[in-house]
Structure 1
Amino acid sequence: MAHVAGQEAVKGNIHLADSLSNLAGTYALQLNDSSLLAVVLNAKGKVMQIKGRRDSAFYYYSKSLHIAQLRHDSIAALPAMINLGNAMIDRHNSETGINYLKEALEIARKRNNKKYMAVLYNNLGKAFDIRGNYSMALQYYRAALDTLERMKSKEYYLEPLNNLANIYLYLGNDSLAMKYYQKVGKLADSLNYQSMQATALINIGNLYYENNENDKALKYTKAANALLGGQYESYLHSIIYLNLGLIHRNLGNAKVSYKEISKSIELARKFHIYDVLGEGCMEMARYYENHNQFHLAAKYANEAYQLAVNNNMLNLLPETSKLIADNYRAAGNTGKALKFYDLYSKYNAQYQDTINNKTTRNFAFLYELQKKETANKILMQRQQLDKQVLANVRLKLEQQRILIFLSIITIISVLLISILLFYRSRLKSRLNNALISNNNEITEQNKLLEKENAFKNKLISIISHDIKSPMMSLYNILELLSVDELSEEEKRELIRDNMQLTDRALNMVDDLLSWTRQQLNTTTVHYTTINVYDLGNEIITFFQPDAREMNINLVNACSPETTVYSDYQMLKMVIRNLFSNALKFTPSGGYIEMGVSKTNGHVILYVTDTGVGIKPEDQYKIFSEEKYFTTNGVRGERGNGLGLKLCRNFVEKSGGKIWLESKAGKGSTFFIEIKRASNSPSVQK
């Protein structure tokens, strides 16, 4: 009954599935069979998941696992553990979800259950795929395919093969993605597995759609729809209808597009396919806005916005918030318009950061693939060279045998053998020297390529983080200033905001130029005497508006007489970076203090906060050139992991040192040791 309940839920017969799963649970309780109850609860969780009730699904999976573990029933525990891991990943808790899946994989390995091993390899691949770790994802997908190859199971072969194609599509290798999609389609056709065959056709259509080949995209999407024509409507139909709507929109068929997207929304609501529903609502909002039906556009935009917020669909948040802001502005509600324009700027910055982070990971991953390909080529060259040497040696030995056989005089034979051995040794030595020389040249080229790629990735991330977001905010404020309905007081307020944002943007551009010069080794250190107290006041004044809004107290504990001998712009950049990081990781009600510690020919500046601190295992990554480390702030702010590395470069270039002390949950302190100016008094603390 539990199995039938799952099948009916997939068909969309939710009420029947719910009734059957409840009845199965009642029988399991009456039979007092806890192993059976664990299986029923796991099936109940699947029904809840298809109904869109994720919290309930999570509850039933957890309860099923708990009962199975109490009975030490690993057979019942495995499916519950897999579903629980997938549910955690679905709830954006990928680390915990991956741990559940890895634990399940260990159980499957111990029991030598290759079917579950293949399923878990595939699920782990999807988890790392979602996190953007494509190298690990590819390893797990290939492990799944290797396991299934040994099992000679073609049915389960389809999903990891399709996932492999999706990764190559995301990485921009269209030809390889198309090759795998076609493989999926042919295999699904041979197995008469229509849903997977339709999935392959949908993906091929998407590939053509992304390349703006709408006629080909329409052909394959219609083929997928025709293939599923005789079946009950499922979540695949909602995807097909949405894709048909988008393709017809591009082809200028607005009425057909509207009809197809309406059908997609109806099915997405039925099957709780939130990403498809969000995209469909957003498309309907665009449609009604283009037809000047702003109240309907606002209705769908608000629904898409709520779906994006509730399901963390960052790709929809910028456009939905801007559309809502535009509607409020058209309705004359300036206050709410400003609120959603601000949200648009925030979400757009986060979305761009996500894209840039993924781009950085893609560059790194593609570089790793390139290194592996280069290593494989070198290995093949070595093998060919070895074969050539071996062939030469065999030839020479054969010549020796012939010469020895034909030779009558022993001295002549020995002489000939010696000459041949010497020639072989000399040839081998020359080949080895050539191989060593080639290896050294390849190593030097790889190091140069790594350095160039690291510089490009850093530059992309800095430009996105430090320029694009403030410029977008400035644009929105200036756009609002053009509205004639604003009062003089509102205009003055917006002008003040505009001046503040302009000042910040100029400072960011200045910092970026300084960083670029430093990376290109063109920065000259200009030593001068700097009053630390005045510099502290300047930086605190810069951050005071943000700190006041966050309810964080900024304190300048430096002595007014303390001076240091350093580069003013570099030191200002470093301390401002430390304050910016401290604000990100300090909760409301905390404080950030800048002060001076005891000196002995040097001044030790410190910036301390009452923030969340840094875990011991992460502290060494902060200033490391080899490690990439970043984490979100307490209010969801995103970083690029480069600021503190830049601080270290500037401090060391000006002859100083920088280090940190931190305890998780109690805050962090960053120390900078700088030369003390000759007129600065000694300080004791």
Structure 2
Amino acid sequence: MIKGYLKYLHGILLLMALTGSMTALAQTDNFRQLHEKLQQEKDSAKYVKLLNSLSFYHHRNNLDSCFWYATKALEIALRRQDEKGKSYAYTNFALFYTKKRNLKLAIIYNYRALEIDNALSDSANISIDLSNLALAYRAEGNLGKAQEYEQRSLQLGSKYPELGDYKVDLINYLEYYWNNPAKIDSVKWALRELHTISSKKPYSMEWYESRIYETLTSIKTKPFRQTEKQLKDLAADAYRRGLPDESLTAYVLMLRDVLPMGYDIDSIAYAEKIFLLAKEIGDDEVIMKMIPKLYKHYLPGKDWRRIALYGASIRQLAMFEQSEAGKLPVVDHISYFLKEQEMQELQIASQLQQHAIEQSNLQRTSHRILLIFLLALLILLLIFTAIYCFSYYAYRRHTRALAALNAGITEKNIRLQAGDDFKNRLLSLIAHDFRAPINDILHTARLWQRGTNNQRAMLNSIGRVELDSRRTLDNFDGILRWIKSQFSDFAYHPVPCDINEMIAEIIAGIEAEAGNQSLRITTSIPDATVVAADAEMLQFVHRTILRQLITLTGNNGTIDIQVQQHAGQTTFTATGSPIAVTPPLLRLLDLPQQEDKLILVTCKDFMNKMGGSLQVKSDKPDTFAFIYQL
């Protein structure tokens, strides 16, 4: 019996291997193209997309391959920060755990995918996530949430018919409600929509689904055997084209929905076909549903080979369930989540490092900008300094030119002023110092013209004429000398001058004038008192001073002349007393710089030319002195 069982099991395994080979040979061009493109692509977003596409393709016929491709895709997407790749991988994980009846994890992964797609505003993937959530909640038995997400997915799909999951929503809707009398119109609408969409892509999953449900909806209007044959033909054709899942769908619908309607169906034959297809695909849920039915059918007839086959399948599923119960949530899932957490930490560390690099680059850029700004500022300062220096030197040149021009103008003004002063002084000298003597001479001349018998008066008048003439001549000589000293080519040539001789000569000349006022002239001059001066200019000063004192001193007065020498400087002092207070004297005392007779100004000018000075001084109320230093 055991040998027979082993022979039967060997035959079953050989049949399954042959069936798998036939299925592999019947893979679509799309599947082969995915593998070819995967070999050509490297680490990139397109590579992640191809891995996810292969994972999605295998979720219908090979769940282990589905999980493997999804894991690889998620690892690369996390490392590359590919949000779309992560969302697609989470969707494939949700499909895997839905097939494995771990609905809690399926819902978690669906929500993760939905969160990413909402952030990306990806309407197509949002529709897929809503549809998958509806499937997961329906499998969990939560029909309220399942219908909510179905409606949301259909509404989004109706607005955007080009979305990839709209046809899946239509297929799910037909699966749930195709034989519901209350939804006949909705089912017809869904069939039209699905037929229109699937016609663009013949022999695809949605194309077979559309034809299967169209055949089922016509079961009441056509002979049943004809309808059954059409379904079997569609299932066989789908299997040949590498879509065993569509064959399984057709057989499951016959067994689940058509048999309860009362039609004559060989349920055991359909159950065996469903069992083999589910085992090939790896759909444990369908296997678990078929085994009890088949086991109970063959147990009374004691068909030990089939009983052993189904018993072994039950044992394998039980062992798998036990290992899954301990492995998926505790080992695979937790380790996977830990690995995912590690990837997230690495991603955060990478982001921090990238942020640090960006900060460093930003600092370098800011430093570069600051250096450029400082360099530009320095250049501007240099330009400003150059402009300022140029303006300053231009201003200095202009100022010097103006100063030179002003100096020239000032010099000319000084010369003009000097000329004006010279003319004014000359006119003043002529007006003051020549008028009085000439008037006296004219007065005497008129007296002579009228004639007089007084001989003494005649002699006195002759003496006055002589005195006035001599004084006029002396003044004229002094004025000529002063005029000569005002010229620019005048050169001062000092000679030794004996003060004693010069004073004696002057006293002899003014003795008559002093005698008229009974004046006494005293001298105190050291012997051999010699000074370096211009003899004519110094003698003019002596003569003018003594004549001024004779004019200012009252009758019976005294004129005292003293000369002192000290440290190479000669001081000449001529003092008259008592002084008759007259308006000219008051003006001399109050305003010594504005003498009444401008001839004294000439004396001061002579003293300045010779390097000396002349001043007027009154120490006592009745004395008056002229002092010069040379």
TM-score, with length taken from structure 1:
0.36
Higher relative CO (CA 8 A, sep ≥ 6), structure 1 or 2? 2
Bigger Rg, structure 1 or 2 = 2
TM-score, with length taken from structure 2:
0.38
